[in-house]
Structure 1
Amino acid sequence: MQTVVTAKLKLNTTPEQFKALRTTQLAYRDSLNYVSQYAFAHGKMSNAVRLQDATYEEIRLRFHLPSQMACSVPRQVGASYKTLWTKVKNNAVHRKEGKTKKRYKGLDKAPKFISPTLTYQYKKDYTFKKEQQVSILTLEGRVIVPYTGYNKHVALIQRGAEIGASKLWYDKPKKQFYLLVSLAIETADPTPETHKQVVGVDVGMRYLAVTATMQGDCTFHSGKQIVPKANHSARLRKRLQKKGTRSATRRLVAISGRERRLKQNTNHVVSKRIVLQHPQSLIGLEHLTDIRERTKRRKGKNAKQRKANRTFSKWSFAELHSMIAYKALLHRSMAIKVDANSTSQACPKCGHTCKENRPNKGLLFVCQNCQYTLHADLVGARNIAMRTLLIRQDWRGTGLLSVRAFCVGR
């Protein structure tokens, strides 16, 4: 079984190499926008083969991209249009079912690519050399650049790990290039016997994650110190965007990504603690896909209602889940998705389920049937753990995992 991780390598470029990489990045972005305009003008085309046949020569002539990059551009644009078409179709289904009234507008105009991130294919656009050097293709030919990175990732590259595509990413505030390389690592095939423990993980805003085991152990990972910082960054960015002056724009560039990096780092810390605390475990996570469409939200345009709706989208729970998933595989554990329906409203003792079990939607859970009282988030984690246990028992009995393992690379 393979697990995909991403190695972030810092490129130590000379001024000439920096200029060559930056020029290549911008040309690649311009070619993406050209192909996107072509696809939109021809029926919002998502077929990568047809896009390549129609635009390949123009990409080579106008933007002077090497042949492999000229092939990567239509594939990337085609994949973007396929994703947008999927969202349009899902939105149509949700509107028909009455889950939402909003029409998805992602294909009302041609998607514009703003980020200059460039995709490289291994052994075609870039290769690794000895002494921590990498050969990278630019518009002016190949350049050999020394790199540094996380010791474990560098060791995997040097030991001959299976290397995939990479992305050339530019950190604009620091004026620094990074190469984000996909590495496939072999991990042991999971079996019910290798997972000696079952863990349920409930995510939320007051507590970013609450874990519970079948032995009664529990852990609370609070967001008390982190969430206010993220909210402050969001408010500061909003004020600067509203001001719109040149100095405000410079400040926005300086702090760009601060909120995202804070959340990403916090998710890394929380996921690592969970995985290290529960080795060789089957970790149950809530299936939160389309949760915004499936949950009732306040309707209206006043400030209080907008703030309540904004709270639903405050933290990147999908990112936290993905980090738990790939780190679990590296520590001989595995994460699976379980049904998230009524996990904090169902009594783990008698099974009674109703909204009144959580008075005022607070942190206290009081079963209206048996009067069982507990922290609401812990109740959710225990219900997830029990649903994970049922899946594990079924796995042992049938030899087949009844749900799909959530094995997502970083």
Structure 2
Amino acid sequence: MQTVVTAKLKLNTTPEQFKALRTTQLAYRDSLNYVSQYAFAHGKMSNAVRLQDATYEEIRLRFHLPSQMACSVPRQVGASYKTLWTKVKNNAVHRKEGKTKKRYKGLDKAPTFISPTLTYQYKKDYTFKKEQQVSILTLEGRVIVPSTGYNKHVALIQRGAEIGASKLWYDKPRKQFYLLVSLAIETADPTPETHKQVAGVDVGMRYLAVTATMQGDCTFHSGKQIVPKANHSARLRKRLQKKGTRSATRRLVAISGRERRLKQNTNHVVSKRIVLQHPQSLIGLEHLTDIRERTKRRKGKSAKQRKANRTFSKWSFAELHSMIAYKALLHRSMAIKVDANSTSQACPKCGHTCKENRPNKGLLFVCQNCQYTLHADLVGARNIAMRTLLIRQDWRGTGLLSVRAFCVGR
């Protein structure tokens, strides 16, 4: 089994190298926008082969991109249009079923590429040299740039990992280039014998994650110090959006970046703690697909309802789940998705399920049948752990997982 991780390498460029990389990035972005306009004008085309046949020569002549980059541009634009077409079709289905009245407008005009992030193909556009140096293709030819990065990622690049495509990313505030390299790492195939323990993970806003095992062990990962900071950023963002000036827009960009880094770092810390606490385990995660749509207050647009919708959309639980999944594989564990229905309303002792088991939707769980009392989030984690145990028992008996393993990379 392969696990995909991303190595972030800092490029220590000279002024001449910096200028060459920046010029190449901007030319790549301009070519993306040119092909996007062409695709829109010709029936919102998403076929990468047809786009390449029609625009390859013009990309080479107008933007002076090397041949491999000129091939990457139509592929990237075609993939973007395919994604937009999928959203349009899904929106049409949802409108027909009455789930929404809004029409998706993503293809009303040609998509514009703002980010100058540049895609490189390994052994064609970039290669690794000795002493942590990288040979990178630019409009002016190849440049050899020293790089630094996380020691474990550097070790993986130097020996063993399968290296894939990379992205040249520019950190504008710091005026710094980074190379984001995709690495595929071989991990042992999971078996019921290697995954003897099970754990359940319940996510929420009061506690970002609560874990429980069948032995009665539990851990609470509180969001008490982090969530108020995210709420503060949301209030600032609201005031700046009302103001609408250019300086307010610049502040919005800075605040959004800070908030994103805060959440990403918190998710990294929480996921690492969970995985290290449960080695060689089958970790159950809630299947939360479309959770925002299922919990959304659709009727009315009062301030209270808007606040409720905003609360449910405040944290990136999908990112937390994906981090747990890929870190688990690196530590000889595996994460799977289990049914999330009524995990915090079902009694783990007698099985009685009803909304009244959680008075006022609070943190206290009181079973109306057997009077079993416990923390509501811990009840959810224990129910997830039990459902994970059932899946493991079925896996051991049949040799096949009855659910799809959630093994995704970053």
**Does 2:252 correspond to 1:257?**
no
The answer to which of 252-261 and 344-353 deviates more is 252-261
Higher deviation after alignment, 135-144 or 338-347? 338-347
Task: Pick closer, same or farther for the CA change 1:409–1:33 going to 2, 3 Å.
Answer: same
CA contact (8 A) 2:60 2:70 kept: yes
Deviation, 1:256, is 4.9
Deviations 1:202-257 (A, max 9, x none): 11111100111111111110101001111222322343344344544454455451
* TM-score normalised over the length of structure 1: 0.96
Shift of 1:182: 0.6
Q: Secondary structure at the match of 1:210?
A: strand
Describe how 1:158-307 pairs up with structure 2 within 5 A: 158-307=158-307
Write the distance in 2 (CA, Å) between the matches of 1:253 and 1:397. Answer: 53
- Once residues 22 and 253 of structure 1 are traced to their aligned partners in structure 2, the CA distance between those partners, rounded to angstroms, is 21
Structure 1 CA distance for aligned equivalents of residues 192 and 186 of structure 2: 19
CA distance in 2: counterparts of 1:62 and 1:203, whole angstroms: 51
Deviations 1:320-357 (A, max 9, x none): 00000000001000001111112112222222222222
Structure 1 residues 369 and 296, CA, compared in 2 at 3 Å: closer, same or farther?
Answer: farther
Q: How far apart are 1:315 and its partner, in Å?
A: 0.5
- Could you tell me how far apart the structure 2 residues matched to 1:363 and 1:230 are? 21
**Mapped partners of 2:336, 2:2: distance in 1:** 16
Aligned equivalents of 1:91 and 1:300: distance in 2? Answer: 21
CA distance in 2 between counterparts of 1:154 and 1:163 reads 12
The answer to whether the Cα contact below 8 Å between 1:271 and 1:320 also exists between their aligned partners in 2 is yes
Distance of aligned partners of 1:155 and 1:399 in 2 relative to their CA distance in 1, 3 Å threshold? same
Find the aligned partners of 2:186 and 2:315 in 1 and give their Cα distance: 31
- Does 369-378 or 320-329 show the bigger shift? 369-378
Distance 1:256 1:104 in 2: 24
**3-state secondary structure, aligned to 1:55:** helix
CA distance in 1, matches of 2:100, 2:291: 12
Q: CA deviation at 1:141?
A: 1.0
Question: C-alpha separation between the residues in 2 aligned to 1:291 and 1:385?
Answer: 20
Could you say if the C-alpha distance between residues 18 and 234 of structure 1 is closer, same or farther in structure 2, counting changes exceeding 3 Å?
farther
Q: 1:250-272 CA deviation, whole Å, 9 max, x = no partner?
A: 54455451000000000000000
Please tell me whether the aligned partners of residues 298 and 308 of structure 1 are also in contact (alpha carbons under 8 angstroms): no
Q: Secondary structure at the match of 2:273?
A: helix
Mean alpha-carbon deviation: is it higher for 33-42 or for 210-219?
33-42
Shift of the 202–26 alpha-carbon distance from structure 1 to 2, 3 Å rule, reads: same
- Aligned-residue offset at 1:279: 0.5
- CA deviation after TM superposition for structure 1 residue 143, in Å: 0.7
Change (3 A) 1:380 1:256: closer
Provide the alpha-carbon RMSD of the alignment: 1.6
Residues in 2 aligned to 1:87 and 1:99: alpha-carbon distance in whole angstroms: 14
Partners of 2:284 and 2:314 in 1: CA distance: 22
Q: Contact 2:230/2:259 (CA < 8 Å) preserved in 1?
A: yes
Per-residue Cα deviation, 1:52-77 (whole angstroms, up to 9, x for no partner): 11111111111111111111111111
Cα distance change on mapping 1:373 and 1:93 into 2, 3 Å: farther
Question: Is the 8 Å Cα contact of residues 94 and 100 (structure 1) preserved in structure 2?
Answer: yes
- Residue 337 of structure 1 contacts residue 403 of structure 1 at CA under 8 Å; is this kept in 2? yes
Q: Which stretch shifts more, 118-127 or 255-264? A: 255-264
In structure 1, C-alpha distance between the alignment counterparts of 2:181 and 2:234, rounded to whole Å = 30
Q: Measured at CA, do residues 85 and 180 of structure 1 come closer, stay the same or move farther in structure 2, by a change above 3 Å?
A: same
Aligned residue pair count: 410
- CA–CA separation in structure 2 for the residues paired with 1:96 and 1:349: 43
Contact 1:198 1:214 survives alignment (8 Å): yes
Displacement of 1:389 after TM fit? 0.8
> Which residue of structure 1 aligns with residue 91 of structure 2?
91
Relative to structure 2, which stretch is displaced further, 62-71 or 296-305? 296-305
Instruction: Tell me by how many angstroms 1:299 deviates.
Output: 2.8
**Structure 1, 294-303 or 246-255: larger mean CA deviation:** 246-255
Distance, in Å, in 1 between the alignment partners of 2:80 and 2:244 is 30
Question: Shift of residue 364 of structure 1?
Answer: 1.6
Q: Percent identity?
A: 99
Contact kept in structure 2, 1:173 and 1:254, CA below 8 Å: no
Cα separation, 2, equivalents of 1:164 and 1:88:
31
Q: In the alignment, is the contact (CA less than 8 A) between 1:197 and 1:282 conserved in 2?
A: yes
Residue of structure 1 in register with 2:61 after alignment? 61
**1:382 deviation in Å?**
1.1
CA contact (8 A) 2:296 2:309 kept: no
Distance 1:292 1:252, change over 3 A: closer
Residue ranges of structure 1 left out of the alignment (5+ in a row): none
SS of aligned partner of 2:389: helix
Equivalent residues of 1:51, 1:78 under 8 A apart: yes
Contact persistence 1:99–1:293 (CA under 8 A): no
User: How far apart are residue 288 of structure 1 and its match?
Assistant: 1.1
**Distance in 2 between the 1:12 and 1:407 partners?**
34
CA distances 1:136-164 after superposition (whole Å, capped 9, x unpaired): 11111111100000011111111142100
Q: Deviations over 1:161-209 (max 9, x none)?
A: 2100001111111111100001111111100110121011011111100
More off after superposition, 81-90 vs 137-146: 81-90
In 2 relative to 1, CA 105–347 (structure 1 residues): closer, same or farther, beyond 3 Å?
farther
Bigger CA drift: 241-250 or 167-176?
241-250
The corresponding residue for 1:393 is 393
The offset of 1:95, in angstroms, is: 3.0
Query: Matched residues in 1 for 2:178 and 2:292: separation?
Result: 34
Which segment is superposed worse, 130-139 or 236-245?
236-245
Residue pair 1:100, 1:293 contacting (<8 A) in 2 also = no
Alpha-carbon spacing, 1:254–1:352, altered in 2? closer, same or farther (3 Å):
closer
Q: How far off its partner does 1:21 sit?
A: 0.8
**Matched residue, 1:382:** 382
Q: Is the 8 A contact 1:173 1:253 kept in 2?
A: no
